[in-house]
């Protein structure tokens, strides 16, 4: 088979397309021929050497057809499956834990199945298990035109939340409004003041922040008393250490740094979240927009695009 490998930590040019031995599935794994492979910012962290991971092949998310199944697996040879948290995904063949594979419903195409599940399940746990907005709740979603941001905006708006979001350009503002944002703001020093103005001085109930260092202070300052900051990513860099006493001074705030693996710890959780995502897509509650599709050998181009933060939507690799 062919795969994309990381030869050493570094920039996108360290991603090389090479012939590799076919993976041999271990106990509890199934072998899948990939049809679409999701590109996520975590893959960038792995390539840079910032996150520990099994290498040389990066990649978490994908979809394809089962070609070999372990004993006791809930999927069989020929099944269409997707997964949000596997390993060595930038490849034509992938060994995936059977308990992470979910059936792909009829009507969901390969590109959507392979590129929407990780972000979709992340949006689900943020809105369902970290802070669940109620109808009329004012929330702030950073980067509302990105792949992750659009899902959060759409799902929260469908649940009746008043969604405020941030973007960097007029084009991205248009995308955020199409997703359902009621108010679209630009990043900057006056952001928190503008959020408070829009909420009658109260602040928002929750902030969903995948940007990190560049937005953290504005996120804290935008919250109402007892508000929740869900810091689920760090695209602009990690947040420096800060004094926890500030949370009391700012209104007894809650801050959490959640990651998907802790919210899919059981097979039941995996199926629940995945089925909710696919159901929302099928019902047109979530509309998946793709910021780019690339052939598998062009993985470096996909990484340059996602690092530029100029993309608006999910990115996928397609095996040749």
pLDDT of 310: 66
pLDDT of 186: 95
pLDDT of 45: 86
pLDDT of 259: 94
pLDDT of 290: 87
pLDDT of 41: 85
pLDDT of 165: 98
What is the chain's pLDDT, residue by residue, as a tens digit (320 residues)? 999 999 889 999 999 999 999 999 988 899 999 999 999 988 998 999 887 777 799 999 999 999 998 877 788 899 999 999 888 899 999 999 999 999 999 999 999 999 999 999 999 999 999 999 999 999 999 999 988 999 999 999 999 999 999 999 999 999 999 999 999 999 988 999 999 999 999 999 999 999 999 999 999 999 999 999 999 998 888 999 999 999 999 999 999 999 999 999 999 999 999 999 999 999 999 999 888 899 999 999 999 998 887 676 789 999 98
pLDDT of 69: 87
pLDDT of 307: 85
Four-CA torsion 151, 201, 215, 153, nearest 10 degrees = 0
pLDDT of 271: 97
């Amino acid at each position: 088979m062919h795969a994309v490998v990381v030869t050493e930590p570094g920039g996108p040019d360290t991603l090389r397309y090479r012939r590799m031995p076919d993976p041999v599935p271990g106990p509890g794994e199934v072998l899948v021929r990939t049809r679409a492979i999701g590109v996520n910012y975590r893959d960038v962290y792995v390539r840079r050497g910032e996150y520990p991971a099994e290498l040389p092949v990066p990649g978490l998310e994908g979809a394809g057809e089962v070609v070999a199944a372990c004993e006791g697996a809930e999927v069989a040879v020929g099944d269409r499956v997707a997964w949000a948290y596997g390993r060595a995904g930038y490849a034509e063949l992938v060994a995936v834990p059977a308990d992470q594979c979910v059936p792909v419903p009829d009507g969901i195409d390969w590109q959507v199945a392979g590129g929407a599940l990780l972000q979709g399940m992340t949006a689900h746990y943020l809105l369902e298990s970290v802070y669940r907005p109620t109808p009329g709740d004012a929330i702030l979603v950073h980067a509302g035109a990105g792949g992750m941001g659009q899902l959060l905006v759409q799902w929260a708006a469908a649940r009746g939340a008043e969604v405020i979001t941030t973007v960097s350009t007029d084009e991205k503002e248009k995308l955020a409004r199409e997703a359902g944002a009621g108010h679209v703001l630009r990043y900057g020093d006056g952001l928190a003041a503008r959020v408070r103005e829009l909420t009658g001085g109260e602040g928002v109930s929750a902030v969903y922040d995948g940007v990190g260092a560049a937005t953290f202070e504005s996120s804290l300052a935008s919250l109402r008393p007892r508000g929740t900051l869900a810091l689920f990513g760090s695209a602009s860099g990690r947040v420096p250490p800060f004094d926890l006493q500030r949370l009391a001074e700012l209104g007894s705030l809650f801050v959490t740094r959640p990651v998907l693996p802790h919210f899919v710890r059981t097979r039941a959780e995996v199926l629940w979240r995945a089925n909710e995502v696919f159901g929302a897509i099928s019902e047109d509650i979530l509309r998946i927009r793709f910021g780019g599709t690339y052939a598998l050998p062009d993985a470096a181009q996909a990484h340059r695009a996602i690092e530029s933060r100029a993309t608006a939507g999910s990115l996928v690799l397609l095996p040749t």
